[in-house]
Structure 1
Amino acid sequence: MSTEPHKIRFVMLGGFLGAGKTTAIGRLAKQYQDQGLKVGVVTNDQAADLVDTNLLRSQGLNVGEVAGACFCCNFNELTSTVETLAVDERPDVVIAEPVGSCTDLVATVVQPLMQLFDAQFDVAPYGVILKPSHGLRILRKQAHGGFSPKAAYIFEKQLEEADFLMINRIDELSVQQVEELATLLSEFAPETPILRISAKTGEGMDALNEMFNQRGSFGQKILELDYDVYAEGEAELGWLNSSLDATSDEPFVLDDLLLGIVEGLRERLAAAQAETAHLKTIGLWEGAYGVANLVSSDTPAVLSLASNCRTKMAHVVVNARVAVDPESLRTQVEEVVQEVASQLGISAAMHQTQSFRPGRPVPTHRFSKPNA
């Protein structure tokens, strides 16, 4: 008597840079684990040294990283990374976090998994998180939300291909702002379900779990996409991943260092009128970790996860996605790190820094028709 082979439930959570994908994934993974399911996570970035990977691993999750290109352009690495996660303990669910500046994921990831890897994967509906700070401005047509029309084009295409949408950070928004966002989204994508969630507090996460558990005719929204506009929109962002070791003869407050770096960069980038898509830093030492971030130029720098740690040493990772020349971004980051470290009496030894503009997307696969 034969039995149907075990399929991995593949859950992909998209959204623009700074939308809150990583926080939502951490909560979603915990929900699955509480249900007795084994969970794997795959993060994605244009370069190594990713804050998201460090954060999710610090939460005890089994995390693989696809670095060097987006899922669509490194599809084979995505599937092989899932296989690697399964070497020790085959997951029941894999949650995938694509690059925040990436779109066309239905044609280049969802459909290839459905049509080429149907025996291995049971693909969930594709959900996209709306980033309120840029979402309000872009959907209101307010000068493209701080970005050029080409970068805003990517944002809108992400919303267009989703099976369902999530308004995140409702704990930070007024009732009027949430309702305005819901109205704007309904006008933009009239047939697309909308959830209201706070990945930070957990509000709405049960409904998100239920949505991802649905079966049916999902992953069918293949975009009409101008890859020239897409490529030019991505290339407007300077991309930086950097790491450093912070040491001091006397214990220092790790959270002060993290928030100081982000706040210092916020001030400099604001003075340069450079729109921030996302800026975040994580500090780690002996089981303690903290995160500070900035999600747009018109929001404050925040300590999103306090380490409450005093230490003489820590490893720090900085990720920045800003509409500015990448070499200028590198200079700004390195100068701010040293300034803040000096103020706190810390020695900061910089390690590898990668700064660049993303190249033109060249998908491994692109299906023009959905699976029948």
Structure 2
Amino acid sequence: MTTSTPKIRFVMIGGFLGAGKTTTIGRLAKTYQDQGLKVGVVTNDQAADLVDTNLLRSQGLQVGEVAGACFCCNFNELTSTVEKLAADERPDVVIAEPVGSCTDLVATVIQPLLRLFDAQFDVAPYGVILKPSHGLRILRKENNTGFSPKAAYIFEKQLEEADFLIVNRIDELSAEQVDELVTLIKEFAPETPILRQSAKTGEGFEALVDMLDQRGAFGQKILELDYDVYAEGEAELGWLNSSMRVTAEKPFVLDEVLLGIVERLRTELATANAETAHLKTIGLWDGAYGVANLVSSDTAAIMSLESNCQTQEAEIVVNARVAIDPQTLQTLVEKVVQDVAGEQGLKVEFRQTQSFRPGRPVPTHRFAKPQA
């Protein structure tokens, strides 16, 4: 008698740039591991050198990366990356983190998995994390959201296709702000369940795990989507990934360098009147790692993860998604890095920098009608 290979539980957590997907996925992976499950993670970006990949690997997770296009436009790479993870040690659960400027993921990722890979994958409900800073502005219909209506269109479509929505960062919000967000979401998507959580502290996390354990007719909300508006909304963002090595003759505080880069960029971008969707940098050396980030123009630059490391060398990766010309963004990043390095007595060796605007999405598959 033969036994069939158990399906891999496929969990995808979406949300706009800076919503807190990586922190959520890291905590979720640890939760599953504590349950005795083997976990794989697949990150996704328009280019290589992704902070999220480095961060999750630094946490000891098995991580594959789909780079060069979003999951929808590189669907075959998504499935082959999962196969590579399974070839090493077959995971019970794979958690996928899509590009934060992508939408239409039900029609182009979930439905293809349900129809074409039903024997391999058991697909969980699709959750989307709402980003409070831009979410409040967009859902309030404010005149100045920081982005054009075309970029706000992507944000709204992400919420529209979700099986459930997550208000994250509740540790950073007042009770009144959380209540306002929930009220606005209910007005926008009245039939969609809403969770409240802090991925950073773990508050409300049990509800997320319970929701993802649900079975039923999920992944059915196929969007009516104007791909011209979608493409133009994505293309207004300048995209930069840059990797570098910094060295010094005497030890320096890694966290000061990371936060210094992000804080200086915050100031420069504000002067240029350029809205930040997400800006983050990771520093790694000898088992230590720290992360600094900025999620919008009206929030502070913070150390989201402290390395508490003093070292004479480190590898640093900067990821920036900003409403600005990508070449201007690259010039700013390189100038700021050199300025901070000069103040700290560091030598910088840039390894690789990619700056561009995302191209028009061309999905590998797209199903116009749902099938359970």
TM superposition score category, shorter chain reference = over 0.9
User: Hey, what does 2:39 align to over in structure 1?
Assistant: 39
Equivalent residue, structure 2, for 1:89: 89
Give the letter aligned to residue 335 of structure 1: K
Cα distance in 1, alignment partners of residues 180 and 163 from structure 2? 21
2:272 maps to what in 1?
272
Deviations 1:24-73 (A, max 9, x none): 00000000000000000000000000000000000000000000000000
Shift in Å, 1:199? 0.4
SS of the counterpart of 1:278?
strand
Instruction: Check if 1:199 corresponds to 2:188.
Output: no
**Per-residue deviation at 1:144?**
5.3
Q: 2:293 corresponds to which residue? A: 293
In structure 1, the gaps of 5 or more residues are none
Partner of 2:60: 60
Q: Deviations over 1:269-317 (max 9, x none)?
A: 0001000000000000000000000000000000110000000000000
Distance in 1 (alpha carbons) for counterparts of 2:219 and 2:144: 27
Instruction: Note the C-alpha offset of 1:350.
Output: 1.0
SS in 2 for 1:145: coil
C-alpha offsets along residues 86-113 of structure 1, whole Å, 9 cap, x if unaligned? 1111000000000000000000000000
Counterpart Cα distance in 2 of 1:328 and 1:145: 22
**Structure 1 residue 164: Cα displacement:** 0.1
Rounded Cα–Cα distance in structure 2 between residues aligned with 1:144 and 1:88: 48
Aligned residue for 2:136?
136
- In structure 2, C-alpha distance between the alignment counterparts of 1:371 and 1:290, rounded to whole Å: 43
CA distance in 2, matches of 1:92, 1:143: 46
The equivalences for 1:98-113 within 5 A come to 98-113=98-113
- Residue by residue over 1:129-181, the C-alpha shift from the partner in whole angstroms, topping out at 9 and shown as x without a partner, is 00000000000001252100000000000000000000000000000000000
How many residue pairs match? The answer is: 372
User: Which SS does the other structure have where 1:111 is aligned?
Assistant: helix
Question: Distance between the aligned counterparts of 2:142 and 2:271, measured in 1?
Answer: 21
1:217 partner amino acid:
A
CA contact (8 A) 1:289 1:306 kept: yes
Instruction: Output aligned runs, 1:17-32, within 5 Å.
Output: 17-32=17-32
Distance 2:243 2:90 in 1: 32
How far is the alpha carbon of 1:349 from its aligned partner?
A: 1.0
> 1:3, CA displacement in angstroms?
3.1
Matched to 2:345, the amino acid is G
SS of residue matched to 1:146: coil
> Could you tell me which residue of structure 1 aligns to residue 183 of structure 2?
183
1:16 aligns with 2:16: yes
Q: Distance in 2 between matches of 1:259 and 1:5?
A: 47
1:10 alignment partner AA = F
Aligned-pair identity (%)? 80
1:127 is the counterpart of 2:137: no
CA contact (8 A) 1:110 1:123 kept: yes
Q: Aligned with 1:244: secondary structure?
A: strand
Q: CA deviation at 1:5?
A: 2.8
**Corresponding residue of 2:302:** 302
Aligned to 2:3: 3
Structure 2 Cα separation of the partners of residues 165 and 66 of structure 1: 25
Q: Which amino acid aligns with 1:368?
A: A
Q: Name the counterpart of 2:227.
A: 227
Give the partner amino acid of 1:140.
R
The whole-number CA distance in structure 2 between the counterparts of 1:144 and 1:107 is 31
Q: How does the TM-score come out when normalised to structure 2?
A: 0.99
* Cα drift, residue 371 of structure 1: 1.0
Distance 2:284 2:265 in 1: 20
Take 1:237 and 1:243, find their aligned partners in 2: how far apart are those partners?
A: 20
- SS of the equivalent of 1:222 reads coil
Q: What's the Cα RMSD here? A: 0.6
Report the equivalent of 1:50: 50
Q: Residues of 1 paired with 2:356 and 2:279: CA distance?
A: 15
Letter of the 1:268 partner, please give it. E
2:75 matched to 1:75? yes
2 CA distance for matches of 1:370 and 1:5?
26
Matches within 5 A, 1:314-329: 314-329=314-329
Note if contact 1:5-1:119 (Cα within 8 Å) is conserved in structure 2.
no
State the secondary structure of the residue aligned to 1:6.
coil
Residue in 1 that maps onto 2:237: 237
Give the letter aligned to residue 223 of structure 1.
L
Report which stretch shifted further, 131-140 or 2-11: 2-11
Residue 85 of structure 2: SS of its match in structure 1? helix
- What is the CA–CA distance in structure 2 between the aligned matches of 1:249 and 1:222, rounded to whole Å? 57
Cα distance in 2 for residues equivalent to 1:249 and 1:167: 45
**For 1:20 and 1:315, how far apart are their aligned partners in 2?**
23
Quick one: distance in 1 between partners of 2:253 and 2:164? 41
- Counterpart position of 1:115: 115
Quote the Cα distance in structure 1 between the aligned partners of 2:36 and 2:325: 47
Deviation for aligned residue 1:2: 4.0
The answer (yes or no) to whether the contact 1:45–1:99 under 8 Å persists in 2 is yes
